[in-house]
Amino acid sequence: MSETVAVVGAGIGGLCTALSLAPTGRHIILLDRDGPPPGEDPDEVFHNWKHNGVGHLRQSHAFLARLRSIIKTEHPRLLQQLLDTGVRELPFEAFLTDDQRKSYQPEPEDAELTIITSRRTTLELVMRRYVETLENVSIRSSFHARSLLTRKGDDGVIEVLGVAGEEDGAATDLYTDVVVDSSGKNGFLIDQLIEEGAPIREEGESAGILYFTRHYRLRPGQSEPPREGSPPASGDLGFLKFGVFPGDNGCFSITIAIPEVEMELRKAVLDPDMFHNITLQLPGLALWTSETRSEPVGRVHGMGDLISRWRDLVVEDKPAVHGYFALGDLLVRANPLYGRGCSFAAVAAQALRGALDHSTDPSARLVAFHKRVWEELRPYYINQRTQDRAAVKRAREALTPGFRKTFRRRLIEGFFDHGVRIAIRSDVRLLRKALRGFHMLEHPDRWLGRPQTLARILGYWFRGRKKNAAAYPPKLGPGRAEMLSALSIDVEADIARIAQTA
């Protein structure tokens, strides 16, 4: 008899679970607390879909190469439907510098480094409509999952038997063989298991940054700025990070990320006019947001509470629960700066499929899932957490009067700023290797640890800035004091506040 799997949450994580499990013949039930999309038009869905279960629905999104590869391999019809709806593919060539384009020779592996980019609402709309066509998948909208149906097994381990909720105003108990919890970063069902004694292990810390996104639409007859000859459309000024995300159907979004310690700037950026003014101070963004090229759409969407978090449902080889799997942001959360959240969910969904096919024993299943998640996702989680800690430290130091870096610190930063970054902006082969790590196609640190790679990077570093001049990007934007002044933020008051809190 085929198993029934209830998936709590019908966002990207839930949809990826359905895509992964549907070919196995299991009956998949997606439980969505929200209503369905309000129509088929991407613009209507963007403006009117009340999808409160996804708090970052209108933040910038992209599917990294790993997730695109999964979709292309397992559901090619879905990939075509995405493209037919206006979702964009950005190939490897889009990330070359002007100098690299002059001598670029395509390699077969370059096709693997293509990403998908669009408004999140459009991505979910198309994925949901595709999933609804799968005969063994059903979506129950407006199903509010309230608690898990549990009991203690003979071995003392909590067994999850299903989900208790409310549907159409009536209490509903849904008994299933497996429950997959993809209810997002604010999911609370896992707390019930912890309260009932499940030894779930958790670690977490702040990513130290806040996100602010605004959407834009190209004016009639206008097109996106050319990539060649234009200043970078993404970058890091220390006190501010920024990036453009090309979207679907003539739309794009801009995300500005600001360290938590930048109190004045993070308050100011929520104002739509202030946000737009910031974009005009950054040459790479001003090309996109100039009045003649595009117009802003809607308000500024902020996103805080960016906690990097890792949960283990297996501790010392012992499962904490039976019949329950966590997935997506509920299981692993990382700084969205790297755009890996959706890919994390898709890879975990593949790990889940392998675990369920591996055995019918609930302990063996969870152990297999846990092992695969650690192998596949843990290196990226640690890599991102390490970079977050360094960024938080730099942001605090930048606001500390009289702070001076040690020689060792300057040497390390010099290696990355004038060695690694310049090497990948010069050498197409090194760029390929770096992007394979970034896009989760191989271990994120492996490329940098190869002797040949390190030797080439050192070669660029030792050449010096004069010989590497062509590889340096143009100025990304103003310094902190200049930016605050341009935004009419009281610099002296800001300095006084910093001195008080130092």
Render pLDDT for 414-460 as a digit per residue (tens, 0 to 9).
Answer: 999 999 999 999 999 999 999 999 999 999 999 998 999 999 999 99
Residue keyed to tokens 């039930």: 29
Least confident piece of the model among 127-131, 187-191, 484-488: 484-488
Predicted confidence at residue 220, as pLDDT, reads: 96
CA 481 to chain CA centroid, Å, is 30
Report domain extents, the chain: 4-58+119-205+307-385, 209-303
**Residue 26 scores a pLDDT above 70:** yes
Locate 169 and state its tokens.
């105003």
Nearest to 373 by CA among 449, 427, 313, 425: 313
CA distance 165 to 31: 10
Output the 3-class SS for 288-311. Answer: HHCCCCEEEEEEEEEECCCEEEEE
Sorted by sequence, the CB contacts under 8 Å of residue 113 that are 6+ apart come out as 65, 91, 92, 95, 432, 435, 436, 439, 441
| Average model confidence (pLDDT) across the chain | 93
CA distance 467 to 236: 23
CA distance 358 to 149: 25
Element (DSSP H or E) covering residue 174: strand 170-175
In the chain, the percentage of residues whose pLDDT exceeds 70 is 97
Q: How confident is the model at residue 314 (pLDDT cuts 50, 70, 90)?
A: very high
DSSP letter for each residue of 67-123: HHHHHHHH-HHHHHHHHHTT-EEE-GGGG--HHHHHH----GGGGGG-EEEE-HHHH
Q: How confident is the model at residue 493 (pLDDT cuts 50, 70, 90)?
A: low
Predicted confidence at residue 401, as pLDDT, reads: 84
Sorted by sequence, the CB contacts under 8 Å of residue 254 that are 6+ apart come out as 60, 213, 214, 216, 242, 243, 244, 245, 279, 285, 288, 289
**Residue 1 scores a pLDDT above 60:** no
**Residue 502 scores a pLDDT above 60:** no
Residue keyed to tokens 């950026």: 269
Instruction: Decide: 417 and 457 in contact? Cβ < 8 Å.
Output: no
Q: What's the CA angle centered on 96, arms 92 and 100, to 5 degrees?
A: 130
Predicted confidence at residue 56, as pLDDT, reads: 83
Predicted confidence at residue 492, as pLDDT, reads: 60
CATH (residue range 4-58+119-205+307-385): 3.50.50.60
Q: How big is the chain by its Cα radius of gyration, in Å?
A: 24
Helix (H, G, I), strand (E, B) or coil at 338: helix
Predicted confidence at residue 227, as pLDDT, reads: 87
Nearest to 247 by CA among 464, 63, 15: 63
pLDDT in tens, 260-288: 989 889 999 999 999 999 999 999 999 99
Please state the rounded mean pLDDT for residues 380-385. Answer: 94
Predicted confidence at residue 397, as pLDDT, reads: 85
Phi then psi for residue 349, to 5 deg, are: -65, -40
Q: What's the CA angle centered on 285, arms 281 and 286, to 5 degrees?
A: 60
Which CA distances in Å does 414 have to 403, 407, 419, 461?
18, 10, 7, 8
Nearest to 416 by CA among 443, 441, 394: 394
Predicted confidence at residue 306, as pLDDT, reads: 87
pLDDT in tens, 106-165: 999 999 999 999 999 999 999 999 999 999 999 999 999 999 999 998 888 999 999 999
Order of strands across the sheet that contains 209-218: 234-236, 241-246, 251-259, 209-218, 294-303
Q: How confident is the model at residue 354 (pLDDT cuts 50, 70, 90)?
A: very high
Task: Give the residue ranges of DSSP H helices in 234-318.
Answer: 263-268, 272-281, 283-289
Sorted by sequence, the CB contacts under 8 Å of residue 486 that are 6+ apart come out as 277, 281, 478
Locate 339 and state its tokens.
């755009």
CATH (residue range 209-303): 3.30.70.2450
Please state the rounded mean pLDDT for residues 76-87. Answer: 97
CA distance 214 to 212: 7
pLDDT in tens, 203-237: 999 989 999 999 999 999 999 999 888 899 999 99
Neighbours of 158 (CB within 10 A): 21
